[in-house]
Amino acid sequence: MMMKICVIGTGYVGLTTGAILADLGHEVFCVDKDKLKIEKLTQGEVPIYEPGLKELILRNKKNSHLHFSTDIQSVIKDCPILFITVGTPTNEDGSQNLTAINDVMDTLVQTVTSHKTIITKSTVLPGTNEWIQQSLIEKGIDSSLFDVVSNPEFLREGNAVFDMMNPDKIVIGVKSSKPIQVIKALYEKLHAPYIITSLTGAEMIKYASNAFLATKISFINEMARICDAYGVEITDIANALGRDKRIGPSFLNAGLGYGGSCFPKDVSALEYAAKQKRIVPEVLMAVQNVNDSQINLYIEKLTRKLTNLDGKKITVWGLAFKPETDDTRESRSLILINKLLKSGAEIHAYDPIVHLIEFPITIHQDMYEALKEADALIIATEWDQFKTVDWKKVKGYMKGNIVVDGRNIIDPKIVMNHQFEYIGVARQ
């Protein structure tokens, strides 16, 4: 059944949600308060890099299944189904910044006169959807005019289109069974089991999921520290662990740690939420401590080799927080660069997609050109092209001979055969 849908917030999640729902046969209107973004999208320009997304958007724009607008109120009036996909960053103290959600609620209060199913896809702390429901009533919308549904999103940037088309589950949090059929009709072409729970249960599933994945990363990074001291190869450990069906192979790559717009903020928001209820989340705190100190391990090893970093020319390959995205939010690469700059290093960088960041560094268009006269190379993001490097060519460009593998994507023996010094954690 074709449905008329409004997606509020056209970022990584909103744009992908809109494009896929349109591709599933619905009529979708993506709205955003950012006029420039909507203008670009209207002209067929996609403001983010996500494999397969541009093609999907253009195809569905062409067949009039997908539209873009800044007239948020008119679109909301017209659509019975509303998705909220605005950002929910964390404040300094770990609490969640709900400014964007509040803005959306204010718009709803001014607009809603017919029934709406309001579906929150933004990641919000346990209790937030209950609060949204209550606040909308308090602000004057009759409770019969809307249902609030929590439908958290589990996509991975860089695989967003595939993940949303092939979810391993669809989580629905509801207060009553009334909106369940609407959600099932929305997603009828997707083949995934439904997990139906309370509003707060759905919110908690999203945080538990991200916190668990972050825990796997910090666990393997802690193992790498121990393995480093014992002269053990960490990739052998990860490989063996990953083959255990009870553990699974994902998120077991040791390195500079986790970044991005989700894990850091979601783990710290969950810590905040636990503490609000007087629970001390020991594991979550340790996960963050390991992650926060991981970059220093590499910097300390590099500093020992170069004596000091002041005036040294260092090339960083990779700026995005992970491969196949242009997203640099909480990127370990940027945090690393910031620390190197503070130590007086001169930074040259290359990334296949990210060509601009607000740091005083030089970004090159060619990964080898970026190496000219460099004292050291640091691989900070595991883009595929950094896995098949012409080390002879690298040697020709660099002044020094140090290669820091922050993502364990290089065989140390290969670089050492080219007379480089390899720096990693627990690599043999």
Any contact of residue 253 with ligand NAD (CB under 6 A)? no
Nearest residue to ligand NAD by CB is 11
**Site pattern 30..49 for ligand NAD (x: CB under 6 A):** -xxxx--x------------
Whether 262 is catalytic is: yes
For ligand NAD, which is the closer residue by CB, 264 or 400?
Answer: 264
Q: Which stretch binds ligand NAD (CB under 6 A): 6-14, 224-232, 270-278, 341-349?
A: 6-14
- The three-state DSSP-derived secondary structure of the chain is CCCEEEEECCCHHHHHHHHHHHHCCCEEEEECCCHHHHHHHHCCCCCCCCCCHHHHHHHHHHCCCEEEECCHHHHHHHCCEEEECCCCCECCCCCECCHHHHHHHHHHHHHCCCCEEEEECCCCCCCHHHHHHHHHHHCCCCHHHEEEEECCCCCCCCCHHHHHHCCCCEEEECCCCCCHHHHHHHCCCCCCCEEEECHHHHHHHHHHHHHHHHHHHHHHHHHHHHHHHHCCCHHHHHHHHHCCCCCCCCCCCCCCCCCCCCHHHHHHHHHHHHHHCCCCCHHHHHHHHHHHHHHHHHHHHHHHHHCCCCCCEEEEECCCCCCCCCCCCCCHHHHHHHHHHHCCCEEEEECCCCCCCCCCCEEECCCCHHHCCCCEEEECCCCHHHCCCCHHHHHHHCCCCEEEECCCCCCHHHHHHCCCEEECCCCC
Q: x/- binding map, residues 208-227, to ligand NAD, per CB under 6 A? A: --------------------
Nearer CB in complex with ligand NAD: 145/213: 213
Under the binding rule (CB under 6 A), the answer on residue 331 touching ligand NAD is: no
14 binds ligand NAD (CB under 6 A): yes
- If one asks whether residue 371 binds ligand NAD (CB under 6 A), the answer comes out as no
* Residue 86 makes contact with ligand NAD by CB under 6 A: yes
Does position 85 bind ligand NAD by CB under 6 A?
yes
153 binds ligand NAD (CB under 6 A): yes
Of these, 60, 117, 123, 294, which contacts ligand NAD (CB under 6 A)?
Answer: 123
Q: Which of 7, 262, 297, 347 binds ligand NAD (CB under 6 A)?
A: 262
Select the residue interacting with ligand NAD from 5, 6, 7, 9 (CB under 6 A). Answer: 9
Active-site residues, by number, are 262
Which residues of this chain interact with ligand NAD, rule CB under 6 A?
8-14, 31-34, 37, 85-88, 100, 103-104, 122-123, 153, 155, 157, 261-262
